Structure 1
Amino acid sequence: MNRNPISTIWQRAALAVSVALTPVLMTASSLVVQQADAEASSHREAPLISMDAFADNTDTYVFVSPTNPDNVVLVASWIPFEGPEGGPNYFQWDPNVHYTINVDNNGDAVPDFTYVLEANEQIQNPLTFLYNTGPIGPDGTNWNRQQHYSLFEVTSAGSKTLLDNVLAPPVNIGSKSTPNYDEFDSNFIYTASDSGDDIKIYAGQTDDAFWVDLQVFDLLTLRGQPAPIGYTDGNNSPVDSVSGFNNHSLVI
């Protein structure tokens, strides 16, 4: 089934700035020999989006698959600093945001195609506020506040539906609610067909893969360096400020 992504005034666009991959040719050899530059807002330092965390694109990654050199992997992440203990209202995709990845294949700064994720929430039991009422199954059993999403591919020729209202993965609550989470999470890697090619897709909460010491915003301090670039006291060892935090990622 093909349908166009919903376009409404109130739906905010969360753009992964992979349109700035200049140039990214979608072949493994081109990516190996040609430098690909990516730009993204990254972790609350973009002032205009800092008050709208659910639309804040933290990082965008493009790389050759480590298991298949013929494949390119696109990863865009949003919603910075998701604490894992955020219950009962755990973090999720915002139904009022279009999460998009623009891809430019020829370096003209115009998207050749765009991936658009749209999410929705489906309450199973409106009489409880709980996220889940028992161990969550791969089919959503006992998951009260289920989230589903659709993924579209948009080109100048029109829009194609890659995934239609599939179940998103729940967050990792704990061993009672989501036992064996790593194995459980793999149930939500979907395969879609695009012009005869298979595309693997995952869209859900992930560990923040970035490494940054945000004390750099204390007058450009770089811990680990001697003063005055670093600190003079004992607090001069670099720290990964996003360690232990999650975000939501679309992986294609």
Structure 2
Amino acid sequence: MVAIAAICGGSWWTSTVSASDHDESPLVKQDAAQDITDLYVFNSGTNKTTIIVCWAGFNDSRPQPDDAAVYDGKALYTIWVDNDLDNEADLKFYWRYGANAKDEIGIQWEGIPGADAPVSGPVETVFDAGPFARVWTGHADDPFFFDAQGYLEGLDTGNVSFMSNRDFLAGFNVTAAAIEIDTDVLTAGNKIQVWATSARKM
């Protein structure tokens, strides 16, 4: 099963596209580890770009707020980066989860420029992934804002009813993975497109 999250934009994209995916088909709802909610891509400092992928957020088949992250050893996640605008990925960052002999959960990244071998480390920890990137994964507050009441009122009345102090997702959680990487390494000096997928080993 593959779920595409979004294509997001920034100052070096051809265009800016925003998307979110917080409700799913019944099949995807049964598998929180495959349920990607959001993809964020943004400038995070001088020559730094951060990409964050979130999953296991709110849907009506799963209690929220949840009390733990969803680290599934049979799930494979991928960030795809097209940096020459041919709609084909030029960079592919893969990650998956596993446990050591002490039952401690860790993450393993592959495909990160400058890291010749897979890079592994504990969850809930920031660590270097080669000379150009650092990574983190963990349990987080859902960063997406949505005024569900305003949305429903707008459908009912035909008037815009959104309010900035009503966030339906406040206090709900996601599991997330983040990579901060040198912008020149990520983009090769070009505009980029970014998307994310999840897959399951059967």
Question: Structure 1 length as normaliser, TM-score?
Answer: 0.57
Aligned residues of 2:34 and 2:56 also touching (Cα < 8 A): yes
Per the TM alignment, residue 146 of structure 1 is displaced from its structure 2 partner at its CA by 2.2
Distance 1:115 1:211 in 2: 27
- Does residue 206 of structure 1 match 2:135? no
- Does residue 229 of structure 1 match 2:127? no
- Does residue 115 of structure 1 match 2:70? no
Unaligned runs of 5+ in 2: 180-202
What per-residue deviation string (whole Å, max 9, x for no partner) do you get for residues 57-100 of structure 1?
100011111xx2311111111111374553xxx33211111011
What per-residue deviation string (whole Å, max 9, x for no partner) do you get for residues 120-161 of structure 1?
13463xxxxxxxxxxxxxxxxxxxx52111001179xxx953
- Does residue 72 of structure 1 match 2:49? yes
- Corresponding position of 1:30: 12
Distance 1:161 1:228 in 2: 57
Aligned residues of 1:207 and 1:244 also touching (Cα < 8 A): yes
Per the TM alignment, residue 51 of structure 1 is displaced from its structure 2 partner at its CA by 2.6
Larger radius of gyration: 1
Residues 160 and 79 (structure 1), Cα distance of their counterparts in 2 relative to 1, 3 Å cut: farther
Distance 2:172 2:129 in 1: 30
Residues 214 and 45 (structure 1), Cα distance of their counterparts in 2 relative to 1, 3 Å cut: farther
Per the TM alignment, residue 250 of structure 1 is displaced from its structure 2 partner at its CA by 1.1
| Alignment match of 2:38 (pick from 56, 59, 63) | 59
Aligned residues of 1:221 and 1:229 also touching (Cα < 8 A): no
- Corresponding position of 1:153: 111
- Does residue 43 of structure 1 match 2:1? no
Tell me how many residue pairs correspond in the alignment.
173
User: Map of 1:139-178 to 2, 5 A cutoff?
Assistant: 145-153=103-111, 160-164=116-120, 166-169=121-124
Q: Kindly, what percent of the aligned residue pairs are identical?
A: 23
Give the aligned CA root-mean-square deviation in angstroms.
Answer: 3.4
| Alignment match of 2:74 (pick from 96, 100, 104) | 96
Which protein has greater RCO, CA pairs closer than 8 Å, 6+ apart? 2
Unaligned runs of 5+ in 1: 1-11, 125-144, 170-187
